[in-house]
Each structure stands twice: as structure tokens, then as C-alpha cells.
Chain A
Amino acid sequence: MSVHRGDGLADGNPADGNPADQAPSEVTDQARQARARYLLLDERPMPDLVAQLLGPMQRAGPLYWLLFAVLGCMVLVAGGVWIYQMWWGIGITGLNRPVMWAVYIANFVYFIGIGVAGTFISAVLRVLRFQWRAPITRAAETLTVFALATSGLFPLIHLGRTWKFYWMLPYPNQRRLWPSYHSALLWDLTAILTYLTSSVLFAWLVMIPDLATVRDRIARGWRHRLMNVLALGWRGTEGEWSHLKTATTIFSLAIIPVMILMHSIVGWDFAMTIQAGWQSTVFGPYFVSGALLSGAAAVIIVLAVARKTLHLEYFLRAEHFDGMGRFLLVLSLAWAYFYFNDVLVPWYGQLPVDKTILQLFTSGRAAPLWSLMVFSNLVLPAATLWSRRVRTSIPAMVVISIFVNIGMYLERYLIVAVTLGRNELPFDWGAYVPHLPEILITVGAFSLIGFLFLVFVKLFPIIPIWEVREGQMKQGLRRIGRDLVPTRVDPD
């Protein structure tokens, strides 16, 4: 990471020694390589940056409309299926006794997991001052918001009487009952609403300077009016920047515990029960690590797609995928540690029902799914992400990320739908098979996120321009004595 502190050297190759000792052409070459490789060393004039983003925002080619139509249709189909399900009953799904929770809850947990990573990248990396995160943050935060919104649909979809969902909200009512805070579902509700609100506010907050930029660049039309409202009258004064910094810092620090607690609470939905295979004290951190893993991988996919379709090669470079790749590797190992914990303890205890579940996963009917999960979440990342070549190859990162997402989805599915089929009374064991309604709604959920992104990129810049600029400027900061003095390095 030394590069990002402004050494100007690519591979950390100190043997080159003092640039002053080198020939001017070598320095030029190195500098050119550095500029090519690192965004933050590659300053361009602001109007260029803006034009690169605004261009795609205002144009929509046939591919865009095709995707729009397809994803929109899938969302509508999913909505239709949901209405059909409310009309006829949950019976149209594959749910049964004893597997009363399955794909819908797995989706809920999965999408929340994706949502976690966005904020993590944004907030934690901000707090830790990892400058390379600059162009990624908005995509990540947006993914958080969309994933959360999508996941929030699933507790409604899975309800037997969805139209009475509001009984779970605390409001004075004729039943004279508050909802029961003994129930982990209420903790879920509270945590998710808190997190969603904070994420939306946070995403908006850090978007304000860019909204102002767009407002200023596009002088008329609905876009201008929209930006005008959303930019809250930002003028870019010193004072406003200072307030923004403070607010961002507060938010970043505050949202981290919310994020960790929120996903722990989702894990506690399961861990607080006495269902075999669920009652595990490690579920809190286990779920958080899994969420981060799936979320980071999802962010990688989003970035890769955005880069390709919006021609953001300038902003999103191999270095970002390299950084995300390292991040992914660490998360994969962390996840593996927690999972190992979760498996080792019951395996050692040898309680009959725990043994049954382990056997089901490792050598029983669920073995193919379980093996794929372990492969995707641990084996593949651990085997490949050591290599810089892999990490800097965008196609390879996309493939790995897709596998990680599949693996994480399977992990949720195994925990929810497969484990519920086993309990202490073998007479009452069961199995679950997803039926068409679940499949269509799940596809619809993924489509919804894609669709929301499609809408988003036409309204807002997907790359935080001001953060990139800020990062680039920070590269030029030199410590002279006690002062930090901004400098500029001209390549030629």
C-alpha cells in the first residue's frame, strides 16, 4: 500500500533509489507507468472527469434499453407472482412442515449480506484512510441501499398474512399491544430500518458535492431540477467542505457498529432458537464475515460491469480490483475460520442431531451443494487470490466473485432450508425443493437490483468525482517540517 502514500513507485521497488540519480527518460517512463497504473496519480482536469461520467448518464443505447426491458419484465413477473401467492397462500411454494423457512429467508439474509459490504468499504476504509477506495465507494453504497431495499421485501413476501405486516410495527392500536421485543424478528426490523436509513443518508450525504457538480454542468431540464433539489444548495465553500468532512467522519464511525450489530442480529434470528444446527454462539461474527465476503464480491461484480458498460476504464483500474482482491482473500479466510469454528464444535460434541446434520452436508443429499459452497468460498479464493496476476485480471476477479456469491448463497440456503429438515425427532424430518414461485421471485429480486442500478446510473454519477479529485490531490501532499504542503508533480 505504500504506493498510495505518494511514493510514486509501482512495485515498491526501492532499489531504484533516488529519482534524481536516474536518467530523465527512465523517470519519465516510471512516471508514465505510475500514471497508467494508479488513478490517484493520474490527474486530469476536472471537466474531463465530469464529461466522462456525464456522457454515459445522458445517453442510452439499445443495450441499455434491452436490459431495462428485460429486467423490468422480470421484476413485474416477480411482483405478479407475489400477488398470486398472497391470493392463494404460501402453499404454492415448496415450504412444508418442518421446513417453514427456505428460499425467501435465504434471500433476505443474502441480500442483507451484500448490503453490509457497501458500507464497510465506504465507512471502514474511509476511517482507516485507505485512499484507493475513492472511486469505489459510491457503487458500494448504492449497492448497499438497493440490496437492503430488496432484502426488506422478503420478510413481507414470506409472511403468511402479508397484508397484516404492520402489526409488527410499534403503533398504538386497538389490540392494545406493542409488538413483542422478545422476538428476534423485531430486532431485525429495528436494525434494518436503522441501517437502511443511515445508509441512505450516508450515501446521499457523500453524494452532495457530485450532485452539485451535475447540477452546475447541466444547466436546464428535469435533471437540473432534480439535482437542484438533491444537492441542497451546495456551493463548495470551505465551510461546507469542512462540515461535510465532519459529518462524513461521524457517519462513518457511527455506522460501523450499526453494520456489525445489524448483521449479527440477522444471524441471531437463527442462533437464538433451539433448532439443531442453528443454535450456535458463533453465528454473530460468522454471519458478519460471510456478509462481508459476499458483499465484497458483489461490489467487484458491480464495478466490473459498470466499468465495461459505462467505459470507466479511467476510474476503475486493475489496482482497485487488486485491492478488492486482497480484501476478498482476507475475508474468505476469516469466513473459513468462523465456519470451521461452527463445524468443529458440534462435530466434536457428537450429539446425534448435530451428527445427522453434518453427515447430511458432507456425505448426504446436501453434499453437492455443500462442496460447491466450500469450494467457492474458500478453496477458490485461497488458491487464486494470492497471485497478483489473478487479482489484477478483471475477468478472473469477476469469475471468482461470481463463485463467491454462489457459494455464499448456498451457505444461506444450507443454513435455512436444509438444516430445518432435521431435528430431534426423525419421524418429522423433511426436505425442501424450491418451486417456481420462489425461483421467479428470486430472479426478480436480482433483477430488481440490476434494474435499480440501471435507473441510478442514468440519474447520478456512479463514481464519486470529488473523492477521486480529493484523493488525487492528497497524493501531492508533502510534509515539510510540520506542515502538509500540497505539491504537484508534472510528468513532463
Chain B
Amino acid sequence: MIARTERKWTMVVDLDKCTGCEACVVACHAENNVPIVSQEQVVRGRAMHWIHIERYWEGEYPNVRARFIPLLCQQCQRAPCEPVCPVYATLHSEQENLNLQIYNRCVGTRYCQNNDPYKVRFFNFFDPVFDEPLNEQLNPDVTVRSAGVMEKCTFCVQRIRRAEERALVEGRALQDGEVVPACVETCPPSALVFGDLLDASSAVAQLLQNNQRAFRLLGHLGTEPSIYYLKGGTSRVGA
């Protein structure tokens, strides 16, 4: 066991900047080998998007608004999905403060999804199909899951691990901004920011310091997510 520095990986989602463009959604599919399901399966509710944009309508025409909330696994510190798994397929990483998903252990009871209030877990109802040569694109750092296994966002743990290993090998500390999940990397308005909250100089720590816009989703449930949202707003001009 290599001694590791404790991290508190945190993401900040600025709801004021998200445009709903879904670059993050496609980037995640590409990075994490998340399958695309057919039209029929989408109709039957089996679509899998580890990060997706929830669009809520507000108001009545013509004063109607649409709001975008990017939703992904909240990596809760007191994750309700963890205690219910009978085989420890989902469990907490104390060192990284992440909610891990171990595909090989999963037997597919789907209990974790029931206890997930954010419903950000996705089940492989069938074996995923990657028509050749699309399978050439699959990321070798990430397991390709089979039918019967639950999956969810991991904060691109493969990128975290690679960066930590590289830093270890090079004998230096990890820099803020070295670990960037796929969604964060591609987001054009930079609505997503990622980093280690324990590092006081990191972008996330700076952003969250005394930030009155910060809140956590469904905070009343006590799940203590690692994702902080910054409230969006509306500019108004007077007469």
C-alpha cells in the first residue's frame, strides 16, 4: 500500500454559467466508455448519462424560463448508496473521499439506485454494444461494463489515479488543475471547476470561501455531497 495524501475531491458547478450545451455529457461518454442505448431503450427509460443536464421549466408563457442543472454523482460523504450494497460494490474511499464503484463485485441487486436520492446511478440492462470499429475508441483505463452491473460517475478516478501516480513517481506534490475530469475539461463557459478542497490554494477552495451562492443539492437529506452548486440568478433592469 502506497501511502497517499488525503484528498477531498470537490466539484463546483456554477449554475449561472451553465448553458446546457451538453459538451460534458458527450465528453463523459467518450472518457468512460458509457454506452449509448437505442431509441427503443430510451423510450423504456434505460438511457445512461453519467452526467446529464436536468432542464426544469418555470413560469408561464411568455414569462417562462428554463433552468439547467448539471447532475452527476454527488460523491456524498455520507452516501446512502453505500450501506445498502450487500457485496461492497459501492463503498467509500476514506483517503480520497470518493464514492467508489467496483464493477467486478456488483451482482446487480440495484438497491443502491433505490437509495440514491439523486438517481444518478445507471444500470446495464443489456450488454453494451460497440459496433466495430467504434470499440477502437474505448478508453483502456476504464472497465467496459457488462449486463447486470451498476455504474455511475467516478469523478474520472482513472485520471485522478494517473495524476497521483505521476506525481509520486516524479517525487512532487500534485498541483491544482492537474486532475481534471472529462466534463470539467471540456466545459466551454467553465461552469464546472474541480479540485482538492483540502488544498486552501485550490480553485475550488477559493471559490467556495465565503461564497453566499454555494449550496448542496438536497442538502436536507444529510448526504453531504462533494459537489457544491452556485446559485444562478437573473439580471433585471429597471425603468
Contacts and interface: CB of A to CB of B under 8 A. Distances in A.
Nearest to A166: B107
Contacts of B85: 180, 183
A91 B125 contact: yes
Interface string A165-203: 101100000010101101111100100000000000000
Contact count band on A = 35 or more
B55 interface: yes
Interface residues of B, number: 43
A419 to B, nearest CB: 10
Interface string B43-61: 0111100000011100000
B87 A179 contact: yes
B149 A167 contact: no
Given A89-B148, A177-B88, A425 B54 contact: yes
Contact of A180 (B41, B87, B115, B218): B87
B118 interface: yes
A189 B56 CA distance: 41
A274 to B, nearest CB: 5
B140 interface: no
B100 interface: no
B119 A161 contact: no
A88 B80 contact: no
A100 B110 contact: yes
A185 to B, nearest CB: 4
B232 interface: no
Given A168-B86, A183-B83, A428 B54 contact: yes
A218 interface: no
Contact of A101 (B114, B124, B150): B114
A91 B41 contact: yes
Contact of A89 (B71, B114, B127): B127
B144 interface: no
Interface in A137-186: 155, 158-162, 164-165, 167-168, 175, 177, 179-180, 182-186
Interface string B97-120: 000000001111111011101110
Given A97-B47, A160-B108, 8 more contacts: A88-B147, A101-B114, A160-B106, A160-B148, A179-B86, A180-B83, A184-B111, A273-B80
14 contacts: A90-B108, A91-B126, A100-B123, A158-B110, A159-B109, A160-B124, A161-B108, A168-B86, A182-B83, A183-B85, A420-B114, A425-B71, A425-B118, A425-B218
